[in-house]
């Protein structure tokens, strides 16, 4: 399929305030994914420079800044970059924001300590090229954290902007743990950890009310337990933590 992802996200961002209405359950899922990402980064890298690729509305960027990480927020949409700056400024934060394509990143070799690509690879025409770019700009022993929908079934619909058959949510690729591990290792990374999070039962009204107020460490244990014992559902997100070889 000939999919112009740049045009898609420019059109999407121009209309996002009208069509993006997140349910409380979806907000909870996103918040837990962000918390898991931060836990994978760890406090030992707080003094390093973190690149948030595909920062979208900037929620992760703001969370990282609030925890004193040195963050660069990057998105393909210039309008999104402006919105991230505004969201951060409303909280007294001042991120470094860049509009750029993940397939052609404007950084010199070996210049970053951590790269987070949250729900990015599935949108790209060439995810392998993006991973090669991540490898290029990370320092030796630098950390890559990637999240994708877990073993997603790709569907298609007619885009309300271009009126063409378009993958739902702009997702071009589906990844399970084996496929994600393979493409990350092929880019030269050493995989350190694979994690699946957010069992769908989190969104059931009764469980949702119980789980929302839980501190992340306790929620993480509960979610891990659900993922081990419940076999008729699959976790919503797949995360991988990898290290650049020296």
**Residue 35 · residue 216 · CB < 8 Å:** yes
**Residue 11 · residue 169 · CB < 8 Å:** no
In Å, how far are 79, 114, 141, 143, 199 from 34, measured between CA atoms?
22, 15, 22, 16, 15
Per-residue confidence (pLDDT) for residue 15, from 0 to 100? 53
Cα(138)–Cα(88) distance, rounded to whole angstroms? 25
Cα(201)–Cα(197) distance, rounded to whole angstroms? 11
Lowest mean pLDDT among 135-139, 150-154, 196-200, 233-237: 150-154
Cα(113)–Cα(144) distance, rounded to whole angstroms? 9
Q: Which tens digit of pLDDT belongs to each residue from 100-121?
A: 999 999 999 999 999 999 999 9
Which pair of tokens denotes residue 57? 């509305």
Which pair of tokens denotes residue 218? 């306790």
Nearest to 120 by CA among 82, 155, 145, 146: 146
Nearest to 25 by CA among 149, 155, 201, 151: 201
Q: Which tens digit of pLDDT belongs to each residue from 7-58?
A: 655 555 555 554 455 788 888 999 999 999 999 998 766 678 999 999 988 9
In Å, how far are 19, 104, 243 from 72, measured between CA atoms?
27, 16, 19
Mean pLDDT over all residues of the chain? Answer: 88
Lowest mean pLDDT among 18-32, 156-170, 230-244: 156-170
- Residues near 128 by Cβ (< 8 Å), separated by ≥ 6? 183, 186, 187
Angle between helices 177-186 and 127-137 (to 10 degrees): 50
Residue 158 CB neighbour total at 10 angstroms: 9
Per-residue confidence (pLDDT) for residue 199, from 0 to 100? 95
In Å, how far are 35, 70, 196, 197 from 220, measured between CA atoms?
9, 25, 11, 8
149 — phi, psi (to 5°)? -60, 140
């Amino acid at each position: 399929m000939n999919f112009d992802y740049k045009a898609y996200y420019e059109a999407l961002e121009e209309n996002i305030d009208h069509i993006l209405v997140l349910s409380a359950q979806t907000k909870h899922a996103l918040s837990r994914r962000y918390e898991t990402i931060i836990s994978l980064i760890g406090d030992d890298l707080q003094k390093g420079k973190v690149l948030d690729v595909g920062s979208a509305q900037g929620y992760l960027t703001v969370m990282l800044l609030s925890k004193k990480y040195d963050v660069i927020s990057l998105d393909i949409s210039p309008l999104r970059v402006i919105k991230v700056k505004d969201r951060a400024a409303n909280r007294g934060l001042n991120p470094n924001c860049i509009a750029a394509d993940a397939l052609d990143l404007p950084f010199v070799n070996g210049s970053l300590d951590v790269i987070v690509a949250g729900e990015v690879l599935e949108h790209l025409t060439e995810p392998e090229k993006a991973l090669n770019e991540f490898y290029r700009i990370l320092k030796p022993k630098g950390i890559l954290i990637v999240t994708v929908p877990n073993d997603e079934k790709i569907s298609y619909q007619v885009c309300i902007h271009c009126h063409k058959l378009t993958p739902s949510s702009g997702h071009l690729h589906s990844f399970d743990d084996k496929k994600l591990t393979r493409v990350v290792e092929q880019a030269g990374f050493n995989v350190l950890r694979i994690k699946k999070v957010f069992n769908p039962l989190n969104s059931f009204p009764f469980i949702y009310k119980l789980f929302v107020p839980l501190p992340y460490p306790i929620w993480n244990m509960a979610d891990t337990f659900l993922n081990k014992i419940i076999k008729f559902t699959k976790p919503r997100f797949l995360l991988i933590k990898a290290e650049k070889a020296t």
